[in-house]
Structure 1
Amino acid sequence: MLISETKSLLTSMLDLAGVRPGEIPADAVRTTLEVFQRFASVPVDDSVSPEEDGDGVLAQSGTFDLDGVHQFCADLTRQFIDSADRDVIWQLRCTLQWIPSAETEALGSSVLWSFGMPLEDFFAAALGLPGWAWALAGVRAPRRLTIELEQV
């Protein structure tokens, strides 16, 4: 697979699991995480290797102003460094968004990168982040799920 094909692959994997970008039910959050976990292990041919920190995963959560809207987000991002030009970095973001509340504001924000650890250890740690633990508890359905691939 190539970096340019990652969005299509993730979208297809989610679709096969019954999850589509847009509004999703609360129980689809766990499915989204499980699909992303499988997706994160698919090799990317034109990326610098994970051992050289050229292919890694970021789990983050918090309340942010995105696209001019104040919202709580739980995000999984796979970052690639282009092997043909190491100055080119791509990120494929899988973002779940909720209308913020006092409860989500109290969760604060958290960030965890997979660099230097096996993916299974990373995802186990990501599940323990306060925002991701809240998202997976199914308290409320997300407002929407977005999938975006961009050069950063």
Structure 2
Amino acid sequence: MTRRLSMDQAVELLERELAPGQRALDDLVTEDLWLAFLRFSQRLFDVPDAPDADGLLFQYGTHAFDGPPAFTLDLTRQFEISDGEGDHGHYVQVHCELKYGVTPALKALGSFDSWFFHDAGDDLEVWAQGLTQRVAWATIHKLKPNEIRVYQEQV
């Protein structure tokens, strides 16, 4: 039987995957960070036995949530948290947020999101490959983010 990890370890594990070894974090390009997120995405966590309890979200767009407009690629893992009776309580999301300056090429990409759920019977590699075959990937995969932020929030 495979040992499942505690959701409390998720941020630390993602940060460890992002640790660049011989390269400085600010030398990494989008593709390096995406591959690290995919390694993190393959780890099994102890989640409730409920549909969509462990999901991945790939989303991007130009936003000005907490400052000047920025093109943001948000790689998110979402875990369901159950209450004491085993019913849905809330979700916890672990984000790897990549921010870039706004250029005409990035702004032209608009916004996009795609979900993957581990229990849905889909293949993670097929989902990931589909995302990297999008036209947007050709624009962003070699870019260096201006900012990389890893954080957790309750939603």
Taking the aligned partners of 1:148 and 1:20, their CA distance within structure 2 comes to 19
Q: Deviation at 1:17?
A: 4.7
Query: Which of these two proteins has the greater Rg computed from alpha carbons?
Result: 2
Superposed CA RMSD in Å reads: 2.1
Q: Deviation at 1:73?
A: 0.9
Bigger RCO (CA 8 Å, 6+ sep): 1
Q: Deviation at 1:128?
A: 3.0
Q: 2:115 aligns with which of 107, 113, 116?
A: 113
- My pick for the range that moved more, 85-94 or 9-18, is 9-18
Between the two proteins, what is the percent identity of the paired residues? 29
> What residue in structure 2 maps to residue 31 of structure 1?
32
- How many correspondences in the alignment? 145
SS of match in other structure, 1:82 = strand
Q: Deviation at 1:18?
A: 5.2
Q: Do residues 145 (structure 1) and 144 (structure 2) align?
A: no
Q: Tell me: CA distance 1:20–1:106, structure 2 relative to 1, closer, same or farther (3 Å).
A: same
CA offset digits 1:126-150 (Å, max 9, x no partner):
21344443210x2x42111111111
Q: Do residues 135 (structure 1) and 134 (structure 2) align?
A: no
Q: Tell me: CA distance 1:72–1:130, structure 2 relative to 1, closer, same or farther (3 Å).
A: farther
> What residue in structure 2 maps to residue 2 of structure 1?
6
Taking the aligned partners of 2:23 and 2:152, their CA distance within structure 1 comes to 18
Q: 2:41–2:56: 8 Å Cα contact kept in structure 1?
A: yes
Taking the aligned partners of 1:97 and 1:65, their CA distance within structure 2 comes to 11
Q: 2:59–2:112: 8 Å Cα contact kept in structure 1?
A: yes
Q: Do residues 12 (structure 1) and 16 (structure 2) align?
A: yes
Taking the aligned partners of 1:59 and 1:2, their CA distance within structure 2 comes to 22
CA offset digits 1:20-57 (Å, max 9, x no partner):
76xx23x4321111111111111111x235x7211010
Unpaired segments of 5 or more residues in structure 1? Answer: none
Q: 2:82–2:89: 8 Å Cα contact kept in structure 1?
A: no
